[in-house]
Structure 1
Amino acid sequence: MKFRDVLEGGREPLDIYDDILAVLADIQRFPGSLEIIYRKAMTFSEEDLDRLRFALLRLQVYSDINRTMDMEQAQKIKYVSQVLEKIIFGSLLMEHEEFDHG
Structure 2
Amino acid sequence: MEFMRVLQGTGEEMEIYKEIVICLEDLNQLPDRVEPIVRSAQLFNEPELEQLRFALVRVQIYTDIHSTQDMEKAQRIRYAAQVLERVIFGSLLLEVTERSAE
Task: Give the TM-score normalised by structure 2.
Answer: 0.90
| 1:17 corresponds to 2:13 | no
| 1:28 corresponds to 2:36 | no
- Distance of 2:77 and 2:95 partners within structure 1: 15
What residue ranges of structure 2 are gaps of 5+ in the alignment? Answer: none
Amino acid paired to 2:80: V
**Deviations, residues 25-69 of structure 1 (Å, cap 9, x unaligned):** 211111001101000000001000000000000000001111110
Secondary structure of the corresponding residue to residue 75 of structure 2: helix
Aligned length in residues:
97
- Distance of 1:73 and 1:5 partners within structure 2: 18
Q: 1:85 matched to which residue of 2?
A: 85
1:95 deviates by: 1.6
Give the 5 Å matches for 1:1-102: 2-95=2-95
Amino acid paired to 2:21: L
Residues 38-47 or 1-10, more deviating: 1-10
Stretches of 4+ moved more than 4 A in 1? Answer: none
Bigger proportion of residues as helix: 2
- Distance of 1:93 and 1:11 partners within structure 2: 19
User: Given that residues 24 and 81 in structure 2 are in contact (C-alpha distance below 8 angstroms), is that contact kept between their aligned partners in structure 1?
Assistant: no
Q: CA RMSD in A?
A: 1.4
Task: Give the TM-score normalised by structure 1.
Answer: 0.90
| Sequence identity percentage | 51
What residue ranges of structure 1 are gaps of 5+ in the alignment? Answer: 98-102
1:76 deviates by: 1.2
Q: 1:100 matched to which residue of 2?
A: none
